[in-house]
Each structure stands twice: as C-alpha cells, then as structure tokens.
Amino acid sequence: MIRKYAGMLALIALLTGAALYQMKGQGQPESRPVFAAASKAGRVVPGQPVPALRLQGMRGGEFTVGGERSKPLLLNFWASWCGPCHEEAPDLQAVYAKYKDQVDFYGVNVTREDGLREAQGFVKKYGFTFPVLLDTEGTAADAYRLRFVPTSYLIDRKGNLVEVIHVLPAAQLEAKIRGLIGAQGA
C-alpha cells in the first residue's frame, strides 16, 4: 500500500518545494542583477586605479571619486528595493560613525534603477549620516561594471581598488575597514 502512494507523496513534495521556492522573498525584495554583465575589458581590478566619478549628493554638493585623496574610501552601491541592502545598512552606518575620521564613506544610490523618493526614505529609515550620491544616469554603475547591489569598493588614498565586498557581518566589515586603515599607514 505504501508503494501505491509513494509516487503521489513524491509529487506533493515536489509541488510544495516548487511553491516555496516561488514564494521565497515575497514581502522583502532580494538582491538582483540590475546591470549588464561585466566584461573583462575595462573591469575594475584590485591594485589598479578606480574610475573617476563626479556625482551630486542627495543633500546637495558634488562629490568626486578617483585619484588621490586624504583618506581611504568605502564606496557602497545600493538600492531601496534590495533586501540585502536593508540588512547591511545599520552596520554601514555604525562602522561609519566609528571610523569617519579615518575613512570616507560614500553611499551611491542606483537612482536609475530606483526612485529618489524611495532612496530618501531609505536614508531616513537608517539614519545615514555619510554622503549619499545619486547615480541618476547610471554612469557610476556602468563605470564600475556593477552587476549586483549591494556592492562596496574599498579604495586606498592613491585611488586604487583594494577589494570588492558584498554584505558582511558587522565584525567582518569592521575588520575590512581596519585593514584598509592599516594598509594606509594611518
């Protein structure tokens, strides 16, 4: 009798698994690819200069990335619809508050793929005090060959890429920042 129903039970299990997979992430957006796949040509490579950028800040002003600077930089690309961006936001703000005198943080909202109102709500929700830049035309995302959000670029004082990171537990993020500071001789 068990053999008679084994096929039916397997089918029910398969359909249940498929339904759960389809529902995964309902209610909270997931990280998703938002940009064309990066080509090897023009890729941002550790040890090499990062692309130069000039973007408007959400609160006004113009910000530049690329070339020499007084402090190393964490350049974080994010979007308000991205679930993992919500996960990392409190940690980014906490680490920034602790290390802001030693490392610059710029958050880059992929505004071309997001909305300004949604981005402003995200910034308010998480109390970002570091500069948030608006990539309204996608030029920064294109220049950095961005494929997924969130993605952070650790950049040394000379304007060279040190490392590309994604969502990390707070302790690991802080360790990466301390390593970036230590590599600068600060």
Question: What is the 3-state secondary structure of 75-101?
Answer: EEEECCCCHHHHHHHHHHHHHHHHHCC
Q: Which tens digits make up the pLDDT trace of 6-50? A: 555 555 554 454 444 444 443 334 444 444 434 444 578 999 999
- Global pTM? 0.77
pLDDT of residue 49: 96
pLDDT of residue 43: 74
Residues sharing a CB contact under 8 Å with residue 129, sequence separation 6 or more, in sequence order: 93, 96, 97
Domain range 29-183, its CATH number among 3.40.640.10, 3.90.1300.10, 3.40.30.10, 3.30.499.10: 3.40.30.10
- Where do the H-state alpha helices sit in the chain? 2-23, 83-99, 116-126, 139-143, 170-183
Paired with 78 in beta bridges are 109
pLDDT of residue 29: 41
Q: Does 159 have pLDDT greater than 90?
A: yes
Q: Where are the domains of the chain?
A: 29-183
Q: What are phi and psi of 9, to 5 degrees?
A: -65, -40
Q: Which tens digits make up the pLDDT trace of 74-130? A: 999 999 999 999 999 999 999 999 999 999 999 999 999 999 999 999 999 999 999
CB 130 within 8 A of CB 66: no
Q: What are phi and psi of 27, to 5 degrees?
A: 95, -30
pLDDT of residue 5: 62
